[in-house]
Amino acid sequence: MRRLTWSDVTPKPLWLNRRQLIAGAAALAATPAMARIEAAPSKYSTGDAPNSLEDITTYNNFYEFGTGKSDPSDYAGSLTVDPWSVVIDGMVDRPGTYDLADLVKGQPLEERIYRFRCVEAWAMVIPWIGFELAGLLNRVGVQSDAKFVAFETLLRPEEMPGQASPFIDWPYREGLRLDEAMHPLTILATGLYGEAMPKPNGAPIRLVVPWKYGFKSIKSIVRISLVDKMPQTTWNMLQPNEYGFYSNVNPAVDHPRWSQASERRIGAGLFGGRQDTLMFNGYEAEVASLYAGQDLKVDY
Ligand code: MTE
């Protein structure tokens, strides 16, 4: 039986933006990089309609290419993503430098349509292609002392003009508690909209943690380390009173400079876009138990 691709299960108007519809399928076929990736649909996908490919690839935060929303789409073209390898080290049985193809080998790819909520109070819905981080961690063998997973982005100032800024202590870093990393909602994404990951979105491989503010979803990963102490994370290092380690989407805990009670859905038009922010970005049933007994005003 032929495996389903995500386009089998998604009505076309949801995944083609208006311009592509007008240009027709020929425009898609004309781009050589756009080999379709086969991925099974996921029970974890939201029923919300995805944002257009254009919104998803042109309104980005990727400070390695600048702080403007269009900087990643303007400048990330210079990034070399092949060859790509990821170092996996720390408290694992099989540490090493894994070539991307080897890292992905055997991991079941799914299309996961996730809500995505940025700390700046805007939101999108993105049809990622990826696999569960837990699958990879199980493969490399997490040792019993490990309590956290630390991630690092590529450091390559020749191709990442934003890394000239002394404002951030590069490389970009993020971290998860081990149980968060092992949760089935946590994926390593290698594509979206059925294609390899666009460069502005963190090609060739990035983290996606849908119940946390977007900055936890680190892009263009080159290192994954299993550690026993809470790792340093870029935004927490910059502004510890504004960005905690946990960073769970929480409408009841405001950012010190703005409310987190509502959000603007990108692409929903000038007047229709405001909506209430949901606890854990709508994934409360799946993840609330991870934080039982924690005061999320303290562990923000
Ligand atoms: N990863 C790296 N390496 N550098 C970044 O600047 N920005 C984060 C996160 N991952 C960032 C990053 C922030 S603030 C957000 S909101 C998301 O990426 C944005 O992801 P998207 O542009 O794919 O929507």
- What separation in Å is there between the alpha carbon of 202 and the centre of ligand 1? 8
Residues sharing a CB contact under 8 Å with residue 29, sequence separation 6 or more, in sequence order: none
Identify which of 61, 74, 25 has the alpha carbon closest to the alpha carbon of residue 194: 25
Is residue 59 helix, strand or coil? coil
Q: Is residue 8 part of a domain?
A: no
Structure tokens at 191: 């594509």
Q: Which of 215, 236, 242 to mutate to test the pocket of ligand 1 (most atoms within 8 A of CB)?
A: 215
The residue nearest atom 22 of ligand 1, judged by CA position, is: 60
CATH of the domain at 282: 3.90.420.10
At residue 34, the pLDDT reads 57
User: What residues are paired with 126 via a beta bridge?
Assistant: 114
Q: How far apart are the first and last CA of the chain?
A: 47
Task: Find out whether the beta carbon of 115 lies less than 6 Å from any atom of ligand 1.
Answer: no
Cβ atoms of 89 and 73 within 8 Å: the answer is no
**DSSP secondary structure string, 199-237?**
GGGTSS-EEE-TTB-GGGS--SEEEEEEESSPPP-HHHH
At residue 33, the pLDDT reads 52
Task: Find out whether the beta carbon of 217 lies less than 6 Å from any atom of ligand 1.
Answer: yes
Task: Find out whether the beta carbon of 243 lies less than 6 Å from any atom of ligand 1.
Answer: no
Task: Find out whether the beta carbon of 60 lies less than 6 Å from any atom of ligand 1.
Answer: yes
Task: Find out whether the beta carbon of 62 lies less than 6 Å from any atom of ligand 1.
Answer: yes
Identify which of 169, 237, 245, 170 has the alpha carbon closest to the alpha carbon of residue 213: 245
At residue 269, the pLDDT reads 74
Q: Is residue 44 part of a domain?
A: yes
Task: Find out whether the beta carbon of 219 lies less than 6 Å from any atom of ligand 1.
Answer: yes
At residue 251, the pLDDT reads 98
Q: CA torsion 96→98→102→105, rounded to 10°?
A: 80
Q: Is residue 25 part of a domain?
A: no
Q: Can you give the residue range of the structural domain that contains 41?
A: 37-291
**How many domains, the chain?**
1
Is residue 46 helix, strand or coil? coil
- What separation in Å is there between the alpha carbon of 60 and the centre of ligand 1? 7
At residue 234, the pLDDT reads 98
Q: Is residue 297 part of a domain?
A: no
* Residue stretches of the chain with pLDDT short of 50: 1-32
Q: Is residue 15 part of a domain?
A: no
At residue 246, the pLDDT reads 98
At residue 214, the pLDDT reads 98
